[in-house]
Amino acid sequence: SGAAAVSVVLLALSFVLLLFVSWVSTRGQRHAQ
């Protein structure tokens, strides 16, 4: 039970991190132009 919850949390964190990185890169490119 605990391991499953931890894996779900890690998956959610990695997904949020990916969204954040893509948003920052898009914002940086827009600022560069």
pLDDT for 22 beyond 70: yes
Q: What is the pLDDT of residue 10?
A: 98
Mean pLDDT value across the chain: 90
Give residue 8's domain range.
1-33
Buried b (16+ CB within 10 A) or exposed e, 1-22: eeeeeeeeeeeeeeeeeeeeee
Tell me how many domains the chain contains: 1
pLDDT for 4 beyond 70: yes
Query: Is the entire prediction scored with pTM above 0.85?
Result: no
Q: What is the mean pLDDT of residues 11-32?
A: 90
